[in-house]
Amino acid sequence: MGEVLQSSLSSAEGLNLKLMVNKSIKKVLYAEAGEDMVDFLLSFLTFPLGSILRLLGGNSSLGSMDNLYRSVECSGVTRDDSLRELLLQPVVSRGFGCSSNPLGVKESEQPPPSLWCKSVQDFSHNYSYTFFLTTEMNNANHFGTLSRLQFVNPKSPTSETAGQGGFLKEPETFFITDNLVFTPIDSFWSLSFLKSMEFSLDDLEVRTVKVGTVEALRILKASLLSQTVLTDALVNFALKIPKQEK
């Protein structure tokens, strides 16, 4: 009980994950994790495909996508280097970055186009105002005013910083099944789940894992190919290790 698994290549500030493992068949029944780990898993849904292919170093096993990526990587087919970089190293859309991300997928730093709200007073209709958006900072005359609109983080509308805030409602501890179904923690749920699996308690083992870059890459790849993600990525290591892990 309580065995700690860590890779020498893992980040010292990795994400904590507690696994409930069946010792006989070496299978993860479920895991317990905090909000940061679930935020990291949800960030997979925001990754551009090109960034996934880059992270997995040409071993994604996603049909012919690795060949498509290498065609751009090994030839000068794009109009210029900036477009080549856009295809080979795409970034997450502005505001959708994840602070708890051992994979380090970058968020777009390009600011959105400046938008201005112009309000024009209409004296012919009881001094009512008409509002419209513009990308040009035209000088407002005495009949109206011009206000610049600020970018709002979609994950945290009250925050002034685009990188702040997670995807979840509030800090919480979660159960995560081997195939990445997650739910807020409930002790009755875990007991009923274990009972439904009909395993002896003596055959169960708790393992604590520190998820750094190596483990995160394994989880990402397993999530694309497997229904036993945590078992394959953290217990059996059944999948090929991407080049970056060597």
Q: In what order do the strands lie in the sheet with 15-22?
A: 3-5, 204-211, 15-22, 27-34, 173-177, 182-184
Task: State the pTM of this model.
Answer: 0.75
Q: Is 10 or 174 the better-scoring residue by pLDDT?
A: 174
How confident is the model over 82-94, as pLDDT tens digits?
888 889 999 998 8
**Of 1-10, 31-40, 166-175, which gets the smallest average pLDDT?**
1-10
Contacts of 85 (CB under 8 A, 6+ apart): none
3-state secondary structure of 130: strand
pLDDT at 6: 35
- The DSSP call for residue 176 is E
DSSP state of 209: E
Please tell me which residue, 181 or 168, carries the higher pLDDT value.
181
Give dist(CA 30, CA 230) in Å, integer. Answer: 8
Task: Please give the pLDDT value at position 136.
Answer: 66
CB 27 within 8 A of CB 21: yes
Segment 181-207 mean pLDDT? 79
Give mean pLDDT, residues 123-143.
59
